[in-house]
Structure 1
Amino acid sequence: MKKLFAFTFVALLFSVSVFAQGKLKTGIWRGVLKPAAGELPFNFEVKDTAGRQQLTIINANERFKVTDIKFNADSVFINMPLFDSEFKLQQQGAGLTGQWIKHLGNRDAATPFTATYGDKWRFFKSPEKPFLNISGRWSAVFGEGADRDTTVGEFKQTGNRITGTFLTTTGDYRYLEGSVSGNKLYLSCFDGGHAFLFTATIKDGQTITDGHFGTTPWAAVKNANAKLPDAYSLTVLKPGYKRIDFSFPDLNGQKVSLNDARFKNKVVILQVMGSWCPNCMDETAYLVNYYKKYHNKGVEVVGLAYERTADFEKSKKAVTQEKNHFNIPYPLLLTGYTNNKKETAKSLPMLSNFLAFPTTIIIDKKGEVRKIYTGFSGPGTGAYYSGFVNEFERLTDNLLAEK
């Protein structure tokens, strides 16, 4: 009986040390989402900041901060700052258990979740010695038949740890991190709105096979020259059109049009986006700094939001959350159309072959469309991102110089 009491007392002390006074223990945690496709792990760090707890999700070089954490007895509620999702968890032993819930307009999607304190590893505590180092550029094909999509994989491997991403014509899969164990490849990413899990077999130094991304198969061959189509060539204006025309309300309900005086003789950047979209998040982070650099030179930026619902108040809440998170200084308009690509095409009928969120429309000082850029290669893509920034700002400088 004394031994049982001692064991129970030690367990109670450990539990209190992890969840003392409505707080999580500071340090590294390992979280695991459990969708049908398999366990999807990621790491996060808990810190005490200015008297409050802050959680930072770790994906390769990205640090995604979450500050809205509430406690009620043994329950923990974590509201994500973007993408309209949350965790509803219960303290259990040395960890957490519960659900990650995504609010999808007219319904919710819940995924089981657990987390353990002190585990710094992602996929394997003790992985096997890697079969090969697969750093470099790969030409990767996702899907089969008519659904085939050719992408570019960029990987950097050091020992067992591997980071990288896949670039597609509509954007990239952001910061992926994982492990090579033996001849098996594992990559994951969680950003509060999207949970990506990639697995595959490394056949040799030139071939990756038996890949799975959810239920989608994929394979890749090493190709230092792999590249995507020119993102400025995919979406265009229909014949006979030179301008974009719309009138949508801002977050205060005031209608905004490109005919407004503030846009006259200005270079205007239209960001076709949504608060649910991970590549839009990366583009927004860039455009906030771009706006600060170019606004006083004669550039305006406008975001056209296509949300999961056409309900104004629900969309306003989601877009306002993004505006506050990034401190967005330019206007965001609620189009009233959903994020269905056909809906977007209906709202902007002058566009041909609308493919992706985000899509960026560059308008000159005469009000005419000069370029349309499909997708966005974020900072997780390295050289692709740097190349986009250099070209985009060179184009801006040229348009500003025009009389």
Structure 2
Amino acid sequence: MRKLIFLTLLAVLATSCHHHTHLEEGIWRGELSLVEKSAPFLFELKKTGTDSATVTLFNGTERVELTGATIKNDSLLIPILAYDAYIKAKIGHEGLEGRFVKNYIENDSGVPFRAVYGTAHRFEPIEKVPNHRIDGKWNVLFINDEGDTTRNVGIFQTVEAATVRGAVAASPAPASGTAASELIVTGSILTSYGDLRFLEGSYTENGVQLSAFAGLSPYLLEFTFEGADAFTGIFYTTRGKTRLIATRNDQAGLADPYSLTKLKPGKETLSFSLPNLEGKTLSINDERYRGKVVIISILGSWCPNCLDEMEFLSPWYKANRSRGVEIIGLAFERKDDFAYAQGALQRLRDRYDTGYEIVFGGKVGAEATGKALPELEKVNGYPTTIFIDKQGKIRKIHTGFNGPATGLFHEEFKQDFNKLVDELVAE
């Protein structure tokens, strides 16, 4: 009898330990802590071995694959190589619990992270959506604590949940009364220096809630309708919160992106000489760039909008370099350390199969940009794209990038980009 009891206890303990460390494959709902709130997001975990896995983050139609996750005892480590960060969590009875840490921040204690298995909704569903719809374009004013405002543009649409989970196509805004659990709100907010990328959420009883996490900065936005053509809200991040006011405007737009970054008086060419990823000095005046149209992309591996631009430029360069066009990526990184920058930027080159050169300009900030690019008044945002003609003269400077999350704005950017390059090549 004693032996039977002993064996039973061993079996119970073994089962308990196994359950404690077992990591389920499939859809998980994660949360990252923000100021006063948390940002929910969905991800899929697939095991690639007994102690390895791949994690895919979902944001609207976007899929961000994080490879190289490892499972050891009761812990899961998810490296986020693109942003020099990671999530480390304990595997427990209630799911995952740990922290999201950015390596480049010295002594970073991280942001609390937790996740539960099998929950396929980002936000708690409600039975009926409100009478108002968010579909369309909006003027969105961000208001800081001092009362200063920044003008932005919101672009949103309501889609069937099934379309976002599969091959997504925009749907007409469903009529009021449709079950809220069947609908998802997607979209983005454009600023003069980039966009918030792919936001995803749902309707509340009198508004909308949206969130995003693609590996760098978690966001949460909560809107309350103030009639059919206005809403108020709060934008939450890990560092603070910002009030916002929005009004519907089908003609909503931003300042001309070619007017924001300027040359100093009397300057019309660049003259930088900087190390490429092989450690060799590369100059804008090298023979390979003479007599060609040259595009300079000022970027950082830490900048999501820069990655969106690289995803556009890499295949574009392969298709157009034979026309006498060259691209140089000029990167400013989190650290003034060539080895650190080399690793981060080489991962980007590999990820996007980038065929053009990338040079390192130093640590991101006014000091390094002023030294590498003294011809500019200042670098206002990332990315910034400089167009140089065959005579080596700067013809235009474009600040920011409207990425794929911005829909028609992204298509308009590509059309303008191609038109400008075509004109320069034809000269």
Greater shift after overlay, 379-388 or 210-219? 210-219
Q: Does 1:182 align with 2:205?
A: yes
Tell whether the 8 Å contact from 1:31 to 1:41 is kept in structure 2 after alignment. Answer: yes
Aligned to 1:375: 400
Match of 1:376, SS state, is: coil
Give the equivalent residue in structure 2 for 1:195. Answer: 218
Gap change, CA 1:279 and 1:121, over 3 Å in 2: same
1:158-214 C-alpha deviation (Å, 9 max, x unpaired): 444211110010000000001111113211111111211111211211111143334
Is 1:148 matched with 2:171? no
Structure 2: gaps of 5 or more residues: 1-6, 160-179
User: Is the 1:88–1:99 Cα contact (8 Å) retained in structure 2?
Assistant: yes
Matches within 5 A, 1:96-175: 96-126=96-126, 129-144=129-144, 147-158=148-159, 159=180, 160-175=183-198
Is the 2:234–2:241 contact (alpha carbons within 8 Å) kept by the matching residues of 1? Answer: no
SS, match of residue 324 in structure 1 = helix
TM-score, normalising length: structure 2: 0.86
CA distance in 2 between counterparts of 1:103 and 1:204 reads 45
Asked whether the equivalents of residues 164 and 381 of structure 1 are also in contact (C-alpha less than 8 Å), the reply is yes
- Partner of residue 47, structure 1: 46
Check 1:278–1:9 CA distance in 2 against 1; reply closer, same or farther (3 A cut): farther
Could you tell me whether the CA contact under 8 Å between 2:19 and 2:93 is conserved in 1? no
Question: Secondary structure, in 3 states, of the residue corresponding to 2:216?
Answer: coil
Other-structure match for 1:87: 87
The worse-fitting range, judged by mean Cα deviation, of 128-137 and 289-298 is 128-137
- Aligned ranges for residues 229-248 of structure 1 at < 5 Å? 229-248=255-274
Matched, 1:33 2:32: yes
How big is each residue's C-alpha offset from its partner over 1:303-324, in whole Å with a ceiling of 9 and x where there is no partner?
Answer: 1111111122222222222222
The one-letter amino acid paired with 2:381 is: A
Question: Do residues 291 (structure 1) and 292 (structure 2) align?
Answer: no
Alignment of 1:217-366 (within 5 A): 217-336=243-362, 338-341=363-366, 343-366=368-391
CA distance in 1, matches of 2:196, 2:224: 19
Contact 2:268 2:394 in 1 (8 A): yes
Aligned to 2:414: 389
Runs of 4+ off more than 6 Å: 8-12
With 128-137 and 74-83 compared, the bigger mean Cα shift is at: 128-137
1:73 aligned partner:
73
Counterpart Cα distance in 2 of 1:30 and 1:222: 32
Report the alpha carbon displacement of residue 147 of structure 1 after superposing the two structures with TM: 3.4
Task: Return the alpha-carbon distance in structure 1 between the equivalents of residues 49 and 330 of structure 2.
Answer: 36
Of 184-193 and 169-178, the range deviating more from structure 2: 184-193
Are residues 164 and 92 of structure 1, via their aligned partners in 2, closer, same or farther at CA, if it must alter by over 3 Å? same
Instruction: Find the aligned partners of 2:12 and 2:150 in 1 and give their Cα distance.
Output: 55
Contact 1:34 1:113 in 2 (8 A): yes
1:240 partner letter: G
| Residues 61 and 210 (structure 1), Cα distance of their counterparts in 2 relative to 1, 3 Å cut | closer
- TM value normalised by structure 1: 0.91
Q: Cα distance 1:25–1:10, how it changes in 2: closer, same or farther (>3 A)?
A: farther
Question: CA 1:18 to 1:264, structure 2 compared with 1: closer, same or farther past 3 Å?
Answer: farther
Measure how far apart 1:104 and its partner are: 2.8
- Inter-CA distance 292–107: structure 2 relative to 1 (3 Å threshold): farther
Letter in 2 for 1:142: F
Cα contact 1:106–1:309 (8 A) shared by 2: no
Q: How has the CA–CA distance of structure 1 residues 90 and 346 changed in structure 2, closer, same or farther, with 3 Å as cutoff?
A: same
Q: Distance in 2 between matches of 1:399 and 1:198?
A: 42
Give the total of aligned pairs.
Answer: 395
- Conserved in 2, the CA contact under 8 Å of 1:131 and 1:181? no
The answer to whether the 8 Å contact 2:294/2:388 transfers is: yes
CA distance in structure 2 between the aligned counterparts of 1:11 and 1:60, rounded to whole angstroms: 42
Distance 1:230 1:133, change over 3 A: same
RMSD over equivalenced CA pairs, Å: 2.5
Identity %: 37
Q: Which moved more, 1:75-84 or 1:380-389?
A: 75-84
Which stretches in structure 1 are left out of the alignment for 5+ residues? none
